[in-house]
Amino acid sequence: MPNLGLCAFADAFNLTPEQLTEHNVNSLYRCAHFSSKSDNIFGKKIMAFDNAVKERLKRAQDAVCE
């Protein structure tokens, strides 16, 4: 599950595996969480992260059920 979350975070924030450090994840999440909806960079990242988690969970469930 942690890997699924990190992969979803990378998808939502357009990060490479090398950029997935604990510091970067914490910093970017804080910026996104406390940004205004009109912020062009971080305003919709939490929603994108939520959607990426849902999509990755769906793919994992589909793979198990096949």
Give the whole-number percent of the chain exceeding pLDDT 70: 95
Average pLDDT over residues 7-27: 93
Using the 8-state DSSP alphabet, how is residue 35 labeled?
S
4, 53 in Cβ contact below 8 A?
yes
Three-state SS at 39: coil
What is the token pair recorded at 51?
Answer: 């959607």
Query: Does 51 fall in a domain?
Result: yes
Within a domain: residue 66?
Answer: no
Cα 28 to its chain centre, rounded Å, is 10
The answer to whether residue 9 is domain-embedded is yes
> What is the extent of the structural domain holding 7?
2-61
The answer, yes or no, to whether residue 15 has pLDDT greater than 90, is yes
